[in-house]
Structure 1
Amino acid sequence: MRATNFIFLVWLFYVTQIHGYTNRGYSNRGYSNRGYSNHGFTNHRSAFKKVMTTDGVVLGKLLTTHKNTEFHAFQDIPYAQPPIGTLRFKEPLPALPWNGVLNTKESSKICHQFNLNYADPRENEDCLVLNVYSTAVKDHRNDELLPVLVWIHGGGFTVRSGAIDAYGPHYFIDKKLVVVTINYRLGPLGFLSTGDGVMPKNLGLKDQNLALKWVQKNIARFGGDPSKVTLSGHESGAASVGYHILNKKSQGLFRAAILQSGSPLSCWAVHKNPKKVAQYLANALSSTNQRNLTSQEILHIFKTADIEQLKRVVLKFQGDRNSLPDLANCHQMDSYPMTAVKEEENDENAIVTGMNYEKLKNGDINKVPILIGFTSEEMLFFKVPKLLLQTNLIDLNESLAITANMNMKDKNRRDAGHELKNLYTNSFATSPSGSISFLSDCLLNIPIARYAFLQSQYTDVYFYQFSYLGTLGRYQYQEGISGVGNREELGYFWHNATADNLDQFPKGDIVTHERVMDLWSQFIKYLNPTAYNSQVLGDFKWPKVAEENFLYLDINSNLSVKRGPKKFTDWNRIYSKYTTEKLDTY
């Protein structure tokens, strides 16, 4: 009997400690999160959990939150076949089943980063993985399922990932939610196109769509309710969320959405000259001296290039694009060269079709409630000197205030640009704060507000402005320019290495964190951010946006309801005066 028990214990130890899954290129290398050993990442006891997915068994590990809530983390679960070899620049295919137990205890894979500032040893073309975090992994199917938050990271479609070191789910876990974060292809691997059928379009968005389908098939096995999925994202991730709202093929994959600091109506969210971008990069890769390459030649060049070559030419392009105004979708110096492109209506796998603005205006969308908004001065996060160069150009030619993607007759651009500029200053050269405010509104705030206004005619819409200037998410900006920049609010929602212990932050930061977590979690659970009174919110009620009354929540030291965000009414008046065509972006 003792021998039998000993054999059983040896077997149990082997199963729970199993490492290494090498079939089809999956190789969990046990990446140590770059020294990230803060609270919640060091187990107080050894505990692992196995879950049977539709593709095979995954093994996760036990973590704890700052409030001592235990949850299981399953990282790097493949939702698609590795897009390598012959599958590079192909639409994603569902993951193939595996035998045995797949070790998903560590984060070891993120997609390649196309920016000098984002080098990471985990970068890998085999990166189509997602992470699931849950307190509700059960052994019995009759247990209550929890609402689910699916997060799409931002980063201009070129950088960042869904890894736990940046987007720790701890605060949402404390609110009794299941959290899923995903990786998707970035830069040329995910958003490069020849503009025809040779190179499939919007591969990064199609990766996201496949991940959402995986969630529907599997999340109940982790204790999540597939009928209560909220899709959420930031900046380009928020624009992605908007595209899934606009895409009828995503119907049924989520019941609500949260868009933070982005929308498909922003000029940078769509590129109308993808072939020119592909031509430029292919010529740079092949040293063909700007020869007019065919789409097949371009595809061959990209399929055979190694990743370091791709990175070099993308970085060169990012430096050269200021002198390539015909490739701009916003302004000469602040466009996204690799972003979503238009697809053919008859393509059964298409994500981006038609005109974004017109589809939203006409209600040709998945009619789900949304929570949407921005920070008080979004563009503070970006390189201020470079932004000032852009506004200095507008001083010389006011027609440049109108983005390249704005559907406006050339004869109207100078007058419209003049009126928009005068909302902020007579001279951008003498007003850095006016420059940043103009670009914040032009590139993010006004398109986001217009998105909310249009969708409010069809669904419940809750709009916010994050104005709280705390230390929990604070970046360093140019002296003399105040406000809350892009990404600052994320520190109040996501656990990360710089904010391991909330007790070290000022009381105002903690109160703001508790308020926004209550608002967001109530929306995810009940589709209303103030459905119930709470200790941190009291009996405060967040009103919905109405066509005749655009009310929004200003999140500052106190919560207050205000009317008409930023210069929304003025922009609408000017655009209505000078645009006569159907619109795509705003």
Structure 2
Amino acid sequence: MCRFLCVVFALLWCQGNAFSSGHESRLVELAQGPVKGYKDKEFDIYTFYDIPYATAPTGLDRFKGPLPPPTWSEVFEAVDKVTICPQTDLMGWLPNVMTMQEDCLTASVYVPDTIQKHLPVVVYVHGGAYVMGWGNMVTPKNFVNSKKVIAVTFNYRVGAHGFLCLGTNDVPGNAGMKDQVALLRWVQKNIAKFGGDPNDVTIAGYSAGSASVDLLMISKTTDNLFKRVIPDSGANTAAFSVQIDPIQNAKEYAKLLTSKKFDNLVDLERFFKTIPYDQLNSGNTGFRPDSSFVMTPCVERDLGQEVFLGDSPVNILKSGDYKKVPMLYGFCDMEGFIRLLNFNTWKDLMNKKFSDFLPADLKFKSEIEKEQVAERVKRFYFGDKAVSEETVLAYVDYFSDVLFTYSILRSVKLQVEAGNDQIYVYEYSYYDDETIPVPYTNNIRGANHCTQCVIVLDGWKGYINRTSGTDEFKTHVKNMRTIWLNFMTTGKPVPEDSEFPKWPPVGANRSPHMSLGKTIELRGTPRKERTELWDDIYEKYYAYPMPPTSQTHVEL
């Protein structure tokens, strides 16, 4: 193993020497060893790519928590190797050139070219439905170019590699979340060396990364690791955020990978621990009608190890026993646009049995009760009409709510009731002529899932990546980045001396919230009728996530 690492670092040294010719560099001395980053070609910043922040266990230990990072004596050339964790390209999003490897826990640090020290730090957690993605899927260079913050992105284990949860010593669950905790601890130890302030860290995320930072906020393992949170388009109370029944999910996932039968949990665990990574991550769970992704965080059993999540997020929020920190928390007006990929297939299935499309975190006493609730929900969104091209906007609204919007507003309500008076809620709705319209409509447009994140960050191929635009668009981007930077540096999206409308924290009834569209204006309760519908349903039928049982018999 030692010999292998020596070869790897020698290769990195050679690669770095080739890259460094003609590039301005900066050397940072870490406890792990010296690290050299380079001046960005476009921005007035230095980038330090692919620094190991932990070591991913391998072999039969592949599902355990992360190990300490490696050390080195020669200069580590922090050039971009596009390292990513094992995953399958389910959406066609993976980069053409990449280094996919099981020991994939690396971080990238973006540092402005300034002599100023003790800069605020923002750590971004990538999205990808917990089944795919990598740290630099969307980069934060524009933020760092402001010279107001240092930014960190990183990889964590995804799919079954990161989120298989059997409640055993070797597969306790939440490996991917424990990677995230390890990264935050690494930041605390090392970010001052780059000029950052370890006591002024904001954690931010988009989609599953948003749900992740929302979970990090309520975990006991993250005490004193950050002081602000920005969850953009994802919540810890979402149906996809935490597994309801981890053992059942493991059974279902195994069926996607093999036709083998397993008599007990021991055999099931052995199967997952010994199959190749390409098989382990080959199950497609991204398009389930019940708005779950199967391999996601879980409530853990107490095995005498460090536990990331010991109770359901709803219980933790209701108890008030968690860190109450300033939050910039919001969603896009057309989050459900992301499900239009399935519209032509799902519309007929929804008309045939709408109950199959209810969220996975609802539980009913009988099939009759489930059908009654499904009929109530279908009538609320679609009236007396079928799910069809004519009602496509209702389809978008439905999946906006069950995937993202309602769980965010539910979390807001619970947190306000628990005493958090520093939550700033927004709805993002900007569009222009370049925005893709909703099909089968008269060019009706809105903000797709995570559009706000791609706007404030650096854009992303295949989604939105404009290098030019109208003056209106450029002003909008500038304003959004200013609001996000304000929060990262002060804890308030609109400081007292700002040109923007005053933005007070949210209070009772989820009001007020800021509308971020073609104009910026303060409004009252968002989605009032829709949240009241789901408040009533979740009050009666919510299925609390449970830790994996200790059963030994498994039927597949």
TM-score normalised by the chain length of structure 1: 0.82
| 1:481-529 Cα distance to aligned partner (Å, 9 max, x none) | 5321113223311224659996621112111111111111111111111
| 1:455-478 Cα distance to aligned partner (Å, 9 max, x none) | 234221001111001478x45753
Q: How many residues align?
A: 528
Contact 1:267 1:405 (8 Å CA) reproduced: yes
* One of 108, 111, 118 as aligned partner of 1:131: 108
- SS of the residue 1:517 aligns to: helix
What's 1:16 paired with?
Answer: none
Structure 1: 5+ residue runs without aligned partners? Answer: 1-19, 33-41, 323-330
Distance 1:350 1:424, change over 3 A: same
Offset at 1:350?
A: 1.4
Give distance in 2, aligned partners of 1:272 and 1:379: 22
- SS of the residue 1:423 aligns to: helix
What's 1:178 paired with?
Answer: 150
- SS of the residue 1:435 aligns to: helix
| 1:345-383 Cα distance to aligned partner (Å, 9 max, x none) | 56542112212112112212211111111111112123x
Offset at 1:31?
A: 13
Letter in 2 for 1:562: R
- SS of the residue 1:341 aligns to: coil
Letter in 2 for 1:110: I
Alignment of 1:21-420 (within 5 A): 22-23=5-6, 46-63=23-40, 65=42, 70-116=44-90, 117-120=92-95, 121-135=98-112, 144-163=117-136, 166-282=138-254, 285=257, 287-288=259-260, 291-312=261-282, 314-315=283-284, 331-332=289-290, 334-345=291-302, 347-382=304-339, 384=340, 386-387=342-343, 389-390=345-346, 392-400=348-356, 402-407=358-363, 409-410=365-366, 412-420=369-377
Contact 1:388 1:432 (8 Å CA) reproduced: no
Contact 2:160 2:281 (8 Å CA) reproduced: no
Contact 1:43 1:64 (8 Å CA) reproduced: no
Contact 1:471 1:509 (8 Å CA) reproduced: no
Letter in 2 for 1:361: K
Offset at 1:399?
A: 4.1
Distance 1:475 1:528, change over 3 A: same
Letter in 1 for 2:471: K
Give distance in 1, aligned partners of 2:482 and 2:304: 41
Give distance in 1, aligned partners of 2:425 and 2:198: 26
Higher relative contact order (CA 8 A, sep 6+): 2
| 1:372-418 Cα distance to aligned partner (Å, 9 max, x none) | 11111112123x25246445444344544542212554464344333
Distance 1:261 1:403, change over 3 A: same
Distance 1:299 1:268, change over 3 A: same
- SS of the residue 1:77 aligns to: strand
Give distance in 1, aligned partners of 2:396 and 2:170: 40
TM-score normalised by the chain length of structure 2: 0.86
What's 2:554 paired with?
Answer: none
- SS of the residue 2:404 aligns to: helix
Distance 1:168 1:318, change over 3 A: closer
Contact 2:229 2:326 (8 Å CA) reproduced: yes
- SS of the residue 1:456 aligns to: helix
Give distance in 1, aligned partners of 2:100 and 2:543: 38
RMSD: 3.1
Kindly indicate whether residue 387 of structure 2 is the aligned counterpart of residue 429 of structure 1.
yes
Contact 2:124 2:204 (8 Å CA) reproduced: yes
Offset at 1:195?
A: 4.0
Kindly indicate whether residue 531 of structure 2 is the aligned counterpart of residue 575 of structure 1.
no
